[in-house]
Each structure stands twice: as structure tokens, then as C-alpha cells.
Structure 1
Amino acid sequence: MNKLLISLATVIFLGSCSSDRTWVNISRAPIHIEPGDYFKVLKRWTRKKKVIRKFDTTLDLEATLLSWEFRWAHTVKYAADYRLTEDEKKALWLKQQTELDEFIDFVLIVASSDNDWNDLEKGTPLPASPGATAKGSHWRITLTVDEGKKYSPIKIQSVSPVTRIHKTMFPNIGHFHRLYIVRFKAKDGKNDILPSSTRKINLELSGPLGHAPLEWVTTNVQIQEN
């Protein structure tokens, strides 16, 4: 009986662990995507985190990694919504590929109980002496790949105004959210920061108001839609 209970507990535990993990594929292998697939792809590449401190939501965060697959799904849906010609669609996709070669981009949707805490556009906080006013954001953003070195963004852009097309493509944007594009360089010297051998991608927001770790676990197996 005890062995049976242990076996059942193990199955339940493993099931709960596996259900929380969404695998992603960072390869650039061709994949067929229809406009209606966009929101499934968006969900796959989006991670969420909420930080609550003393009953205040210091950070309500969604981050979408703009991977090859996501950019292609976005291009397909955008082209369908705007009835782009084939040449216009190709030009849009070429721009996406160029950005993918040069940068690692994330779209962040962020809300806080206090608007002053939602200030990512101020950039990486600079060290300050005790009692001195610190410059920069309340939050430090870093990117780590496979537990290697930490990278800081080269650009944090606050998107304003947030338009209907933004809310269509990222439907979880609410009235109190702000929208950001966080950009990292794609190379460290001559080496890719996000090579095809990558297994874990970690984006972190940290500071005196809390810590929000986000993780993408990769696989070389092509993702198949149901």
C-alpha cells in the first residue's frame, strides 16, 4: 500500500512539474504558420510574473521573447490583417530577420500599484553612495543564457501611445499597463549570445522592490501544433 501511495505521489509530482514547463525552439527551421496560429505562438513565447510586497503589487509582468518563430507568426498575422501584398510581406519579414541577426528583443507588458515604480525606460540603475539619490530605474534588467555572464540591455524603449494594433497583437495589455521593448545585443564580440545550442534563457528584473525571474527552456525538437 505504501509503495502504491509513493508511486501515485511521484506521478502527480512529475505531472505537475511537466505541466508548468513550456518548451520552445530557437532554431530557424522553416515552419508553416497560419494567421490563426499567432496567439498560440504568442502564449508559447510569453512568461509571466507577479511580485507582491506588503500587499502592494510592485510588479505585474509579461515578457515575450521575439524569437524567429514569434517574429514569423507576427509577420503572417500582420500581413493578413493589413492585406499586404506578397512583396510587402517579404519586405516586412526581411526587416524582422535583420533585427533578429543584430538583437535579442523582448516585449514587456508591465503594471505596478504605484506608477513611479513602473519606470523601466530610465535604464539600468547606477550605484549610489549611502543616502545619495540613485539614478536610473527601480529595476535592473539582465539577460543570462545557460547560466553564463549577465548582459544588460542596450536599449529600453517605452512605447507610447499604446494603440489598438498593440492591444490586438498583445491582448493582455490593460488600462494600467505600460509597454516596453527591451533590446540586448545579439553578439558578444564574434560569438552569438543566443547560439542554437542554448538550453536556458533567463530574463530577470530585480531591485529593492522585489525579484522577477523569467525562464525559457529550449529544445531542438520542432514544436507541433495540435
Structure 2
Amino acid sequence: MGLLFRLTGLLRASPVWKGGVKGSYTKMAIFLTGKPRPGGRGGFTHFLARLKIFVFCTAVLLFLGNCTRVTRFVETAGPYHTESYKRVCDQWSQESRIHHGFEVRLIVSATFKSADFRRAYADEYAAAYQLTAEEKGRFVEDQMKASHLGHEFLLATFVPEKRWDDFDKADSMWKLFLVNDEGQRVVPVEVRDVKGQEAVMSHFFPYITPWKSVYRVRFPSNISGSNNPIIGDNTKKMRLIVTSVLGTAEMHWNPHSS
């Protein structure tokens, strides 16, 4: 329609149009169709109808000329390639917030990378990237090895002030703790900022957005100064605490749920 309006405007601005409808109609008809048309109001209406058809056909040809032909469609039922990934990801993911009145000070989402989650993640990753059986086997092995290096979380945070986004700094305003149901706690051995991978990671962790920073947080397996595990066989609840002068956010999991 925009093309029709522009063409009509050009015609109205032309000397042919300004010369009068009766005189110009025949000239325009000859120009567009190669044949003189009879005059009169009915003939003019017929000409406008033909003009609209001409413009429409031209627009269709231009549109088709700029389209890429799709020869094959791949049907998909959702964003994930495996049936269980969304359920498992939701099970091991939590979110918490810090408010001051109506103002949001912190939004934090976290996924605990349990052995159950890592298996589902490996299946989804292998399906998404079409890994061979051998490649998938190595990827699963790497995931299981990583699970023995400590308790790892993926953390996505939003803070309204850029200066508050310093979770990976040694002198960060934020403190992170992993606490078991006996009140024993450990601090991270690593907090690493994950940059440049948000587009890929948002597929696996849908709470990741362009407005959030993403961190990998790893806690030790044992309580400091002892060989006692922070998460034992009888641990029924663990808490991830994110705290500062702005407030405290807390998320909790059953580490042995499946």
C-alpha cells in the first residue's frame, strides 16, 4: 500500500495529472496498457482498478525477488532438544531478590550443578551440537570430573548500579556462603565472571538476559580445616546465601533430590 500511495502522489504531482483528468487519463492508460481507453467516469474508475493491480503485482515481484526460498523445514516442539532438560533445570534452579521499599537492589538466579543436572545438561548439549557418541562420552566424563572438584553454581545477577556488580572481585561488597542444615558454612574458592557466552548460555539457563551478569561460583567439598563434607549423605537442605549492606538473598535446595 505504501508503494501505491507513493506512485499515486507522483502521478498527482506530474504535469499529466495537472493537465486535467480527461486529458491525462487517456495518456496514462496508453502508458500503462499500451491501449487507449474510452473516456468518462466509468473508464477512469476502470483505469484506477488496473493501476492498483499493476502496483500490487509489481510489489509482489519485488518481494519475491528479495526472499530466500526455504526448501526444508525442521519441526520442533520447543526450545530444548531433550525431553527432560527443562524439568531438571527448573528443579535445580532458584531465584531470590533484595528490595528496599519498591526499589529492587538485587535479583539473583542460581543453578546448582548437581550430578543429576550435569547428566541432563550433557544430554542437551550433545543433542544441540550433534556430538558423536565418542564426543558425548568425553563431555559426560568431563562433567562428572568437574562435579568432584567442589560444589558449583551458575549465578546470574542484576543490580541497578554498575558499581555493585563486583561479585568476582577480591574486595567485593558481596559475601557468598554455602550453608548446610547444621549451620556449617563454606566460602567460595572461585568466583569467575563469564563474559561473551550469554547467547549460548541463555539456551541452557533461560533466566540469563542481556541485563544480567553471569558468574561461575565454586565452593569446596569439605568444611575448612577438616575432612568433613559440607554436604554429607544425610544433608537434607543446603542454602546459598548472597549478602551485603544492601540486604540478604537466600536460595535453598535438597542436594539429594532426584
**Cα displacement (A) at 1:60:** 0.4
Look up the match of 1:206: 243
Counterpart pick for 2:203 among 161, 168, 178? 168
Counterpart pick for 1:110 among 157, 162, 166? 157
Look up the match of 1:143: 178
Counterpart pick for 2:252 among 208, 215, 221? 215
Counterpart pick for 1:49 among 52, 72, 96? 96
What are the ranges of 5 or more consecutive residues in structure 2 without an aligned counterpart? 1-80
Q: Conserved in 2, the CA contact under 8 Å of 1:46 and 1:62?
A: yes
Q: Conserved in 2, the CA contact under 8 Å of 1:56 and 1:113?
A: no
Look up the match of 2:121: 74
Letter in 2 for 1:153: P
> Greater strand share, 1 or 2?
1
Look up the match of 2:46: none
**Cα displacement (A) at 1:102:** 1.7
Deviations 1:84-138 (A, max 9, x none): 1111111111111111112100000100111211210114xxxxxxxxxxxx112
Using structure 2 for the length normalisation, give the TM-score.
Answer: 0.64
Which deviates more, 166-175 or 202-211?
166-175
Letter in 2 for 1:159: V
What are the ranges of 5 or more consecutive residues in structure 1 without an aligned counterpart? 1-33, 124-135
**Secondary structure of the equivalent of 1:120?**
coil
In structure 1, C-alpha distance between the alignment counterparts of 2:254 and 2:149, rounded to whole Å:
22
Q: Conserved in 1, the CA contact under 8 Å of 2:122 and 2:140?
A: yes
Letter in 2 for 1:83: Q
How well do the aligned residues superpose, as a CA RMSD in angstroms?
A: 1.6
Q: Conserved in 2, the CA contact under 8 Å of 1:138 and 1:209?
A: no
Counterpart pick for 1:37 among 76, 84, 92? 84
Look up the match of 1:153: 188
**Secondary structure of the equivalent of 1:61?**
strand
Q: Conserved in 2, the CA contact under 8 Å of 1:204 and 1:213?
A: yes
Higher RCO (C-alpha under 8 Å, 6+ residues apart): 1
**Cα displacement (A) at 1:195:** 1.9
**Cα displacement (A) at 1:163:** 3.4
**Secondary structure of the equivalent of 1:107?**
strand
Tell me the matched-pair count: 176
In structure 1, C-alpha distance between the alignment counterparts of 2:93 and 2:198, rounded to whole Å:
20
In structure 1, C-alpha distance between the alignment counterparts of 2:220 and 2:204, rounded to whole Å:
24
Using structure 1 for the length normalisation, give the TM-score.
Answer: 0.73
> Greater helix share, 1 or 2?
2
Look up the match of 1:24: none
Letter in 1 for 2:119: W
**Cα displacement (A) at 1:54:** 4.3
In structure 1, C-alpha distance between the alignment counterparts of 2:198 and 2:105, rounded to whole Å:
25
In structure 2, C-alpha distance between the alignment counterparts of 1:163 and 1:146, rounded to whole Å:
33
In structure 2, C-alpha distance between the alignment counterparts of 1:56 and 1:113, rounded to whole Å:
9
Q: Conserved in 1, the CA contact under 8 Å of 2:198 and 2:209?
A: no
Larger Cα Rg: Structure 1 or Structure 2?
A: 2
Deviations 1:157-213 (A, max 9, x none): 000113321111111211210000000111344332222221111110111011001
Look up the match of 2:38: none
Look up the match of 2:148: 101
Look up the match of 1:14: none
